[in-house]
Chain A
Amino acid sequence: MVRVAVVRFPGSNCDEDARRGAEQSGAQAYFVWHRDTSLQGADLVVLPGGFSYGDYLRSGAIARFSPIMQAVQAHAAAGGGVVGICNGFQILCEAHLLPGALMRNAGLTFVSKPVDVMVERTDTVFTWAFDRKTPVRLPVAHGEGRFVADAETLARLEGEGQVVLRYLKSSPTTEGNPNGSSNDIAGICNAAGSIVGIMPHPERVVDPRLGSADGLLFMRSLAGVRALSGAAR
């Protein structure tokens, strides 16, 4: 059974959603505290959403120095799967596990609404359960989700297929890119697909009774991470 560690920082939210989503998809999912130093044999780590450390200084800037992040860095360096959702994505950028940065939304306001995104890359630890590029509707809830990177990094992300999720500009109902993100990027990964950061919250929509189950395949990807790492090796 795949072991999924969900890291809790002071100010995390949707951590329980992520844990339950992974568990319901068949993983053995559990919490680790930001002061812990061990991931307890995790196959995959989830950095959940929220406002770790009150977003002081910059979103994710302080969480990066939590004791648990040393274990996450080591896990990532060894090829282990790491997924960051929303604040987790911000932390991954601050920790230099993913390139670029997430800045204040272009419209300045906190945006909380469903958005239509395209799953563009399906051979990652967070998307391998999708068998092809697929449009999904997921909620976003962030004030700092505008992805920026220098031109060279953006070209590399596009050229190497490291854009995992992209806001659908043409969406008639959700008005496309909600934050002014470069190239409409909603999520990226490292070259191997083992580290993924996305702004939308699939863990919030895993049951039709909650309005949508579009997030289910992300959770199933978490639970089946071994299938990918097995194939990659």
Chain B
Amino acid sequence: MTYRVHVRVMPRAGLLDPQGQAVEHALSALGFAETRTVHVGRAVEIEVDAKSRDEAEARARLMCDRLLANPVTEDYQVEVEAD
């Protein structure tokens, strides 16, 4: 079975996120005065072969721990698309 996994990697809360700040300023400059905070991260889509959704998610978490996210500076979320 092939599963499509969505991984979202974000800068850890509390760490300076200059990229998010720059986008925040740009949005304000565009007139989106309602903008409070912006954080910029990265999205990764992976198609994986697995026996179950749980297995697909577990493998994707391992991928995040080993490569896709930096454990010092980033947090991640994993979502597996419904069968």
B63 to chain A, nearest CB (A): 11
Asked if B72 is at the interface of the complex by the 8 Å CB criterion, the answer is yes
Contact A58 B70 (CB under 8 A): yes
Contact A150 B72 (CB under 8 A): yes
Asked if B62 is at the interface of the complex by the 8 Å CB criterion, the answer is no
Instruction: Please give the number of chain A residues whose Cβ is less than 8 angstroms from any Cβ of chain B in the complex.
Output: 20
Tell me which of B13-21, B45-53, B75-83 binds A: B13-21
Contact A94 B18 (CB under 8 A): no
Contact B16 A61 (CB under 8 A): no
- Please name all residues of chain B whose beta carbon is closer than 8 Å to the beta carbon of A149 when the two chains form the complex: 72
Alpha-carbon distance A146/B70, docked complex (angstroms): 14
Q: Encode contact with A along B44-77: 1 for CB under 8 Å, 0 otherwise.
A: 0000000000000000000000011010110000
Contact A101 B19 (CB under 8 A): no
Asked if B43 is at the interface of the complex by the 8 Å CB criterion, the answer is no
Closest to B67 in A: A61
**Residues 1-53 of B at the A interface (beta carbon under 8 Å):** 11, 15-16, 18-19, 22
Assess A103 versus B67: contact at CB under 8 Å? Given A108-B19, A180-B16.
no
A residues lining the B interface (CB < 8 Å): 57-58, 61, 65, 93-94, 99-101, 103-108, 146, 148-150, 180
Closest 3 CB pairs of A and B: A101-B72, A101-B73, A108-B18
B residues lining the A interface (CB < 8 Å): 11, 15-16, 18-19, 22, 67-68, 70, 72-73
27 A-B contacts (beta carbon < 8 Å): A57-B67, A57-B68, A61-B70, A93-B72, A94-B70, A99-B72, A101-B70, A101-B72, A101-B73, A103-B11, A103-B15, A103-B16, A103-B73, A104-B18, A104-B19, A105-B18, A106-B16, A106-B18, A108-B18, A146-B16, A148-B15, A148-B72, A148-B73, A149-B72, A150-B72, A180-B16, A180-B18
